[in-house]
Structure 1
Amino acid sequence: MNPALRNLPLAACAYLALAGLVLAHPDTDAFVQSAFLQAPEIVDCTLEDGTETQCHQITVGYLPDGLETGPFCPATLDDAGGIWDWTGENSGLYRIDGNFLRMLDGLGYRFFDDDGNVYSVDNATERPTVDHACINVSVDESVEITMLLPVEPVMADAPTQLGTVGKVGVALDGVPIFSDAPEVQVTGHMPALDTCGGHIDPGGWYHWHATSTDMTTTFLAEGVDADCALEQDARAQFGYAFDGFALFGSLEADGLQPVGLDQCNGHIGEDGAYHYHASADFPNLPPCLVGMQAQDNFTTTATAGVGAQRAGEDGRNEAPRPEGGGPGGMSPGFEEAAAELGVEPQALMEALGGPGQQPDLAAAAATLGVSEASLRAALPPPPNQ
């Protein structure tokens, strides 16, 4: 391929894609085959713009066999848990330990009692009784997840910003990938990530909020003393985005830094295919997707969390897990507020602002298509500091 094509802006990439010159096809053979609960199949599907097409349908369980997760929340200030991307004063990626939690305490967010015990809540079975708790969700081994990837990726007219708890894609080990977790300043609580950047959804299934196979690069860039137990390779493919384009680590296959990256941290490679790269800073995922996703591309058999379905007439999940909105859970009242406004909890969370932003209720109301007065009336009180 002509190297000059690698530096083309997104609009030019889209033109080439439409011309059939940018090839990218999700390959289900690239996945860890043991991750599938049943053999992948090609099914009819519909893209976001209404285009009828075909998709790879893959079904996975709550957690790949042999994948070790955690730690998440530390038990006391003397322990070290997972990691957290703090977006307030003194922002940065931190190990969740005594030093970090004491810093948050100085900012008005107290996550521990007078004896140094960390407030920890399993959002699958209980609600926090304190203003600020570390969320540590238990798994539901019965959960199945079904995802769709376009067989023939199609560039969108404009990128889709991922925001908070946006659907990014699926890793080659079958683990779903999501963008930023809900931040403490919005929910009041901390859905702790483990040192590979993942945690358990309120529905009981594990997912990533990071390019977990390139965490060493991020820890070095952010100055964090932590290790991910997964094999680290900044040159390797990590998975596929939900638009069908591949996700790679922060380096090219030859070990060089990628050049000509667009606003979604992607470009056209030497093979003529568009793909994304991880960044060095956390969260080390694309901030947006350039292609179109399939409608209804993520569903689960869980009764809570992203993609959840309610318990059916067969009585499955007779004692369903409490609904927590997006991965990691929301403060009590957010689910009810979303229902009252007639919007999805994820949409409500995203409209209230991205990381580090104070909610602009007027803008959020316009985004959601509701009045500012109705939004103010529906929202639960903000978490105390």
Structure 2
Amino acid sequence: MKLTKITACIIFMGATFISCSSDTDDGSSDTGTDTVVVDVEQSNFVSGVSITTVPCTLSDGTVTDCYQIETTGAATDHQMGPWCPDNIADDATAGGIWLEGGVVYDVDGAFVQNMATFYNDNTWLMYDANGDIYTTDTEQECIDAANPNVGTAYQNFCVECLPSYITNLTTTWVIPVTPVLDVTYNFATGPGGPMGGTTGPSTRGIALNGIEFSAPAPVSNILAAYTLAPFDDAGGHINVNQGYHYHAATGISTEIAQADLHSGLIGYAMDGHGIYGRLDSNGDAPTDLDECLGHYDDTRGYHYHVDEAGANNFINCLKGAYAL
């Protein structure tokens, strides 16, 4: 891990006076302290993630080096799935999870059986007389059912898109090697933008296995179509255009432990600042996070802590400049 200390000093000759100041995590100056900036460390990513150094321009105009990160859109450090149980008698090992109201629920057979009560809507009935759950079985059904305007064709279906549907997909991300604190950037709504001004990308960051930390899943749209698109136990699911991507951090993807009991590194935000787990080794969450869910310490510099898994969220905004 490369640490860069940035210190601005004014020295008046003829008198012994040295004044040093540096940027703090909120962009202000703090006399007498150094600001630690931690570069993105290429070796933190799992084997198989392709990383090259490319020139880039950041949103604040900085011309610098970035890492271009390419993956196949599939996780290699843990199993993907399962998502949908087959029958209402199945236990939690047969299905994934659902995020609702800040809570993580196991999508087992009983959860599917109880959907009408859970959402107080008798339209929900996702299984037949034998208790078998209606599930998408083909790639085309996956594509059709994932369309928010699907109508009634897949009403009461559990949508399960399989890794075999994304064998030819390549996903590319570009993040600055050295983070640059800047204004606060709110995330764009929807994949790909629009960006500009203080609006950044919609993608929150990249896990250490190269998988996207995605924007919140459109749960309201999914439920409005009377479909259920569960996440697997790692907080991810598959879209054939996007590949496998996460909507929650559940502690399954690669995490790098910290020597000082701080929560582990799980990835990098699109501005290059580290994203760490929510809880430290004692099970405590930080209490001094800013509006983006970030703060500063002398070991990791400015960094983020991921939101609770049930929140369908990772971080709230970016404090640093992102690659254009």
Relative to structure 1, the CA distance from residue 247 to residue 278 in structure 2 (aligned partners, 3 Å threshold; closer, same or farther) is same
Report the Cα offset of residue 232 of structure 1. Answer: 10
Q: How many positions carry a matched residue from both structures? A: 265
User: Equivalences for 1:129-168 in 2 at 5 Å?
Assistant: 129-139=153-163, 140-161=166-187, 166-168=202-204
- Structure 2 residue 236 is the aligned partner of structure 1 residue 236: no
User: Equivalences for 1:62-211 in 2 at 5 Å?
Assistant: 62-65=73-76, 67-79=78-90, 80=92, 81-87=95-101, 92-106=103-117, 107-108=120-121, 109-121=124-136, 124-126=139-141, 127-128=144-145, 129-139=153-163, 140-161=166-187, 166-183=202-219, 184-186=222-224, 188-203=226-241, 205-211=243-249
Find the aligned partners of 2:305 and 2:189 in 1 and give their Cα distance: 18
Find the aligned partners of 1:251 and 1:92 in 2 and give their Cα distance: 16
One-letter code of the match for 2:100?
Answer: W
One-letter code of the match for 2:214?
Answer: F
Report the Cα offset of residue 250 of structure 1. Answer: 1.7
One-letter code of the match for 1:124?
Answer: E
One-letter code of the match for 1:244?
Answer: G
Q: Which has the higher helix share?
A: 1
Q: Mark the runs of 5 or more structure 1 residues left unpaired by the alignment.
A: 1-9, 214-227, 296-385
Report the Cα offset of residue 271 of structure 1. Answer: 2.1
Find the aligned partners of 1:46 and 1:122 in 2 and give their Cα distance: 44
Q: Which has the higher strand share?
A: 2
Q: After superposition, what is the alpha-carbon deviation per residue over 1:22-62, rounded to whole angstroms, capped at 9, x for unaligned?
A: 51321112112x222x4x22212233455543311111223
> Bigger radius of gyration, 1 or 2?
2
One-letter code of the match for 2:40?
Answer: P
- Structure 2 residue 44 is the aligned partner of structure 1 residue 30: yes
Find the aligned partners of 2:37 and 2:217 in 1 and give their Cα distance: 32
Report the Cα offset of residue 124 of structure 1. Answer: 3.5
Identity percentage of aligned residues: 30
Tell me the equivalent position of 2:7.
none
Report the Cα offset of residue 153 of structure 1. Answer: 1.9
SS at match of 1:125: helix
Relative to structure 1, the CA distance from residue 267 to residue 116 in structure 2 (aligned partners, 3 Å threshold; closer, same or farther) is same
- Structure 2 residue 317 is the aligned partner of structure 1 residue 288: yes
Find the aligned partners of 2:65 and 2:156 in 1 and give their Cα distance: 45
Report the Cα offset of residue 212 of structure 1. Answer: 3.3
Q: Is the 8 A contact 2:250 2:309 kept in 1?
A: no
One-letter code of the match for 1:14?
Answer: G
Report the Cα offset of residue 173 of structure 1. Answer: 1.9
User: Equivalences for 1:11-30 in 2 at 5 Å?
Assistant: 13-15=26-28, 21-30=35-44
Report the Cα offset of residue 171 of structure 1. Answer: 1.1
One-letter code of the match for 2:65?
Answer: Q
Q: Is the 8 A contact 1:164 1:182 kept in 2?
A: no
Relative to structure 1, the CA distance from residue 148 to residue 204 in structure 2 (aligned partners, 3 Å threshold; closer, same or farther) is closer
- Structure 2 residue 58 is the aligned partner of structure 1 residue 47: yes
Relative to structure 1, the CA distance from residue 143 to residue 12 in structure 2 (aligned partners, 3 Å threshold; closer, same or farther) is closer
Find the aligned partners of 1:258 and 1:118 in 2 and give their Cα distance: 41
The alignment's TM-score, normalised by the length of structure 2, stands at: 0.70
One-letter code of the match for 2:314?
Answer: L
Q: Mark the runs of 5 or more structure 2 residues left unpaired by the alignment.
A: 1-22, 146-152, 192-201
User: Equivalences for 1:243-322 in 2 at 5 Å?
Assistant: 243-252=271-280, 257-271=285-299, 273-283=301-311, 285-295=314-324
Relative to structure 1, the CA distance from residue 164 to residue 187 in structure 2 (aligned partners, 3 Å threshold; closer, same or farther) is farther
SS at match of 1:282: helix
Relative to structure 1, the CA distance from residue 255 to residue 104 in structure 2 (aligned partners, 3 Å threshold; closer, same or farther) is closer
Q: Is the 8 A contact 1:164 1:180 kept in 2?
A: no
